[in-house]
Amino acid sequence: MRLAVTGRDGQVAASLIERSRDDVEVVAVGRPALDLARPDTVFAALEVARPDIVVSAAAYTAVDQAEDEKDLAFAVNATGAGKVAEAAARLGVPVIHLSTDYVFDGTKDGAYAETDATAPLGVYGASKLAGEQAVAAANPRHLILRTAWVYSPFGKNFVKTMLGLAGDRDEISVVADQWGNPTSALDIADAILHAAARLRDDKNFAAFGIYHLAGGGETNWSGFARHILDTSRAFGGPHANVRDIATADYPMKARRPAHSRLSSVRFAGVFGWTAPQWQSSAATVVARFAAGGRGLGPPLRCDAEDLLPKPVPSCATTVKDSLLR
C-alpha cells in the first residue's frame, strides 16, 4: 500500500515515514511540486505519486497571521484541501484529511463530539472548517480527522519550544485557562496507518466521515509544560519552573477556544484504535530529545516573559501552528 501525504516537511509526514511498515510506502509530496496555493499543481503531483490513499495534511497554520491573510488561509485550507480530495477522487482512492479543534468555539462543558455544532472563533478555524466541507463535497470516500495540540520529535512544536526555553531561563509563564488534548504526531501516524489498512482491506467500508483523533486525557497548556519539563529533568535534560497566567495576560490577534477537548470515542469504536494517554506519549518524545537532542537545536529565545502559544517560529510557537508545513 502506498500513501501520498501532502506537506513534505511537516510533523505528520515525518511521523508517517518513521512509523511506516514493510507493507506500507509513504511518499511525501510538497512544494514546489504540490503547492496548495496553486491548485493547478495538485493533481499532477499526486498522479505521479500513484497513491492507494491520499493523506491531506499540509495546511496554512499561522493562526494570528491568518487574521491578516484571510484570502491565503482560505486558498490553502479550503480551496487547496478540496483540490487534494478532488484529485484523490479522480485517481479513484480515498482521502484522509487532517483538521483541527479550532473549528469549535470552546464553550462546551465537556469534550466535543463529531456531532457538536461548529463555531470557529477566527479565520484559521473558519478556513479549516471550509476545508472539511470542500473535502467532503469533492470525495465521498473521505476520513476527516480533527486533532489538537500536535507535537513530535520533528519540526517546531510546543515540546521543543519548552525545552529550548528551559535551557535559557529559570521560569516560564504559560497560559493555564486553555484546555485540550496534547497529541503526538507519532500517534496520529499510527492511527492513520491503522485506518488506511482498514480501508485497504475492507472494500465495502461505509463509515466515511468526520472523526476526532486526539491524545488520551486532557490538560491545560501550563500542565502540559510542567509535564514536559519534569520529564526532561528526570532524563537529565533542561528544566524550568512554570508560572500560570491567564489568556488575558497575553492577548493575541486571534481568539483561541478555552476548552477544545475532543472525544475520540467514535474513532476507537469504528477502527479499534485508541491513542495512548498524553502523558505517556509526551514522555516518549521528551526522552528522545534528552537522549540525543534530536532536532532540538539551540535554545529558542523570546522577548515576551508571558508565554501563550502563538503561530510564529519564536518562543511561543503553538503545536497547532506546527502541524504541517
Kindly list the catalytic residues: 124
Contact in structure between 154 and 184 (CB atoms under 8 Å): no
Q: State how far the Cα of 150 lies from the Cα of 320, in Å rounded to an integer.
A: 6
Q: DSSP character for 310?
A: B
The region, left, alpha or beta by phi > 0 then psi within -120 to 50, assigned to residue 304 is beta
What residue has cell string 463535497?
Answer: 137
Q: State how far the Cα of 89 lies from the Cα of 81, in Å rounded to an integer.
A: 13
Contact in structure between 263 and 102 (CB atoms under 8 Å): no
Q: State how far the Cα of 23 lies from the Cα of 11, in Å rounded to an integer.
A: 22
Q: State how far the Cα of 95 lies from the Cα of 107, in Å rounded to an integer.
A: 30
Task: State the pairing for strand pair 171-175/241-245.
Answer: parallel
**Crossing angle of helices 278-292/185-201, nearest 10°?**
120
Q: How many residues does the chain have?
A: 325
Q: State how far the Cα of 160 lies from the Cα of 154, in Å rounded to an integer.
A: 9
For 43, residues 6+ apart whose C-beta sits below 8 A from its C-beta are: 83, 86, 87, 90
For 72, residues 6+ apart whose C-beta sits below 8 A from its C-beta are: 37, 60, 66
Total Cβ atoms within 10 A of residue 279:
17
**Crossing angle of helices 278-292/158-166, nearest 10°?**
50
